[in-house]
Chains A and B, each alone.
Chain A
Amino acid sequence: MNFIDFLKDPIMAIAEWLGNLLSTWGVSDSWSTFILYFLGAAVLGTLALLLTLIFIWAERKIIGRLQDRFGPNRVGPWGIFQSVADMVKIFIKEHIIPDGVDPVPYHLAPVIVVASVLMVLAIVPLSSTLAGSDLNVAVLFLLAVGGLGEIGIIMAGWGSNNKYALLSAFRASAQMISYEIPMAIVLLITVLLSGSMSMSDIVRAQEVPFIILLPLGALIFFIASIAENGRAPFDLAEAESELVAGFNVEYSGLKFGMFYVADFLRAFISAVIFATIFLGGWRGPGAETIPALGIIYLVIKSLFVWFLGVWIRGSLPRYRIDQMMMINWKFLTPLAILLLVLVMLTGKLVDNAGSFIQVVTMLVLNFILLAFAVWVLRRREKREKIAEIGSRSRPVARPDNILKNNMMEG
């Protein structure tokens, strides 16, 4: 095997070499598969956790710039080692365990939360050859793992023996359960379009990326995944002004760090999922023949989606809890169900037409539905006067108020 071939698909080449090595040592096939998967999972998990250091730095830097600040700029060039310094600080901090905690849930919760985030990586096809597991129910697995994260959060809230933490855990899990529904329905549409629940089949079905077929579905999925991650404008689980700082108030040192890491990692991994489902994953020019390129394409697409999320996080103030629930149950969920039914019907109608006609029909359908949704929202806005707290000249900081004022001025 020459060097160029190695570069084309380095990870599979290493895996093959290790497999051969194990079989010459006389390890049976099933054990060597087990060892290879175990090593792969360990490497992927560790790499993802280390990458979080860079993501934390980048996010702080970007949000700093968005808010007209410098962001971290002291440690290293452009403050790039700030997260390393923070990590060292978190490692050497005292471990404070408050009185009256429920020990097992309290100590287990950070592990479960981080694990539930990392487990998602198992089903993402990183390139045409490299995937942790080509599970035939990957879409369901994605939702199921989200449920495990909820359990972790409830355990943290309960175990802390703190009423603010418990309230926040209730909020967070209610939010996650609610927003799973439009997410699941949109995932169902993509399963419908690709005819498969496996992630690699979904990627392979995207001759035309699903974001072109389903722009509205992608929008719903994106909003739902922001809410699922509990990031601004849906970060009311850690509303500092009312709930101190969320379900992780009572955690200190490394355990707090685990929640922090899970938070930032989840933002990137949900971007990876979005890129896989809607932007074609590893697909790109030459990715079929040179699998190493696929990883690069996937990372670039994910970084773009991740940046959009950070942009939103840096720009919008948070919603109130009733507004958050209203957005989900009265807007996103009905819209997603409507989209599912319409895609089903029109998909069957244009089943025999050419692929160009199919794409155009789907696109038109999505935009009609989007226009309808916006029309309904506008009518509702006119009909219902929102009671504003504060004076007319200084209205309450709500996302839609800011958007409206900017539009009027601009």
Chain B
Amino acid sequence: MNVQQVIFISFALVTVFAAIMVVSLRNLFHAALWLIVALLGVASIFALLGASFFAAVQILVYIGAIAILLIFAVMLTRNIMSDETTQTNRAWGLAVILVVVIFFIIVSQISTWSGFSQPLTDLPLSGQESILALGKGFVSPNGFALPFETASVLLLAALLGGVYIAMDREKE
């Protein structure tokens, strides 16, 4: 077993364990912290795959921004921190069955794809080239220009909505 395999297996186990802790803990603050561990685990798997851009963005956006926002929301919401609240409601059994069924459907569909069983190969690009290729892919019309721009419009709309909600209308 080489180093990469050891690192991959340990990080993958940590990620899965953290994800289970997120949904099973009663203390919401602890759940948020475990979520951060899970996100870090995903980032480290990106890093192992050589997708350093995604690893950095995963940490920057999901931990640096979203997880912190989540923690703020949890802390500032009244009565949400008490341990009496349960994580589940009566429909949890149904939800488990649905999730398992959907999981098997997704896995069976993906496994029919020809690329599923191919071993991964290294990118023919080195250093900055892979990031330049990613950037060009985002903005080139043959690549992902339309989804990329649509996502930015969506984010702008969210931003405007946030400003509108936060605006102090009493003064006007």
Q: Is B136 an interface residue (CB 8 A)?
A: no
Report the bound CA distance from A33 to B64 in whole Å. 30
B68 and A147 within 8 A (CB):
yes
Given the contacts A148-B59, A166-B75, A177 and B68 also touching, CB distance less than 8 Å: yes
Q: What 5 pairs across the A-B complex have the smallest Cβ distances?
A: A147-B64, A140-B56, A144-B59, A144-B60, A137-B56
Interface pick from B28-36, B89-97, B164-172: B28-36
- Chain A contact surface mostly: helix
Given the contacts A31-B3, A105-B33, A155-B33, A177 and B65 also touching, CB distance less than 8 Å: yes
Report the bound CA distance from A233 to B36 in whole Å. 31
Given the contacts A30-B4, A102-B29, A173-B68, A140 and B53 also touching, CB distance less than 8 Å: yes
**24 intermolecular pairs with C-beta atoms under 8 Å apart:** A30-B3, A34-B3, A105-B33, A135-B52, A136-B130, A137-B52, A137-B53, A140-B53, A140-B57, A143-B64, A144-B56, A144-B60, A146-B64, A147-B64, A147-B65, A150-B64, A158-B71, A158-B75, A173-B68, A177-B64, A177-B68, A198-B127, A198-B128, A201-B128
Number of interface residues of B (CB under 8 A): 26
Q: Is A237 an interface residue (CB 8 A)?
A: no
Residues in A whose Cβ lies below 8 Å from that of B55: 137
Tell me the B111-132 residues at the A interface (CB within 8 Å).
Answer: 127-128, 130-131
A144 and B127 within 8 A (CB):
no
State which of B57, B60, B68 has its C-beta within 8 Å of the C-beta of A154.
B68
Given the contacts A158-B29, A173-B68, A28 and B2 also touching, CB distance less than 8 Å: yes
Closest A residue to B4 by CB, please name it: A30
Fill in one digit per residue for A147-182: 1 if any B CB lies within 8 Å of its CB, else 0. Answer: 110110011001000000010001001000100100
Q: Is A104 an interface residue (CB 8 A)?
A: yes
Question: Which of A155, A158, A196 has the most B CB atoms < 10 Å from its CB?
Answer: A158
Report the bound CA distance from A337 to B57 in whole Å. 21
B56 and A150 within 8 A (CB):
no
Closest B residue to A108 by CB, please name it: B33
Closest Cβ of chain B to A389, distance in Å, is: 24
A144 and B63 within 8 A (CB):
yes
Report the bound CA distance from A154 to B3 in whole Å. 34
Q: Is A331 an interface residue (CB 8 A)?
A: no
B68 and A151 within 8 A (CB):
yes
Residues in B whose Cβ lies below 8 Å from that of A136: 52-53, 127-128, 130-131
Q: Is B67 an interface residue (CB 8 A)?
A: yes
A150 and B68 within 8 A (CB):
yes
Report the bound CA distance from A30 to B2 in whole Å. 7
Report the bound CA distance from A290 to B64 in whole Å. 39
A143 and B29 within 8 A (CB):
no
Residues in A whose Cβ lies below 8 Å from that of B2: 28, 30-31
Report the bound CA distance from A324 to B172 in whole Å. 26
A147 and B59 within 8 A (CB):
yes
Closest A residue to B59 by CB, please name it: A144
Closest A residue to B75 by CB, please name it: A158
Residues in B whose Cβ lies below 8 Å from that of A170: 72
Report the bound CA distance from A308 to B4 in whole Å. 43
Tell me the A27-48 residues at the B interface (CB within 8 Å).
Answer: 28, 30-31, 33-34
Given the contacts A137-B53, A140-B56, A151-B68, A197 and B63 also touching, CB distance less than 8 Å: no
Closest Cβ of chain A to B137, distance in Å, is: 16
Given the contacts A137-B52, A154-B71, A196 and B3 also touching, CB distance less than 8 Å: no
Number of interface residues of A (CB under 8 A): 35
Tell me the A334-365 residues at the B interface (CB within 8 Å).
Answer: none
Residues in B whose Cβ lies below 8 Å from that of A222: none
Given the contacts A34-B3, A102-B29, A154-B71, A140 and B127 also touching, CB distance less than 8 Å: no
Q: Which residues of B contact A (CB under 8 A)?
A: 2-4, 29-30, 33, 36, 52-53, 55-57, 59-60, 63-65, 67-68, 71-72, 75, 127-128, 130-131
Closest B residue to A149 by CB, please name it: B64
Residues in A whose Cβ lies below 8 Å from that of B60: 140, 143-144, 147
Given A136-B127, A136-B131, 8 more pairs with CB closer than 8 A: A102-B30, A135-B52, A136-B128, A137-B55, A144-B57, A145-B59, A150-B68, A177-B64
Closest A residue to B53 by CB, please name it: A137
Report the bound CA distance from A134 to B128 in whole Å. 11
Residues in A whose Cβ lies below 8 Å from that of B67: 151
Closest Cβ of chain B to A104, distance in Å, is: 7
Closest Cβ of chain B to A147, distance in Å, is: 2
State which of A33, A141, A158, A196 has its C-beta within 8 Å of the C-beta of B56.
A141
Report the bound CA distance from A201 to B65 in whole Å. 28
Closest Cβ of chain A to B45, distance in Å, is: 15
Residues in A whose Cβ lies below 8 Å from that of B59: 144-145, 147-148
Report the bound CA distance from A151 to B36 in whole Å. 9
Residues in B whose Cβ lies below 8 Å from that of A104: 30, 33
Residues in B whose Cβ lies below 8 Å from that of A158: 29, 71, 75
A137 and B131 within 8 A (CB):
yes
Report the bound CA distance from A35 to B64 in whole Å. 30
Closest Cβ of chain B to A199, distance in Å, is: 12
Residues in B whose Cβ lies below 8 Å from that of A173: 68
Question: Which of B53, B63, B64 has the most A CB atoms < 10 Å from its CB?
Answer: B64
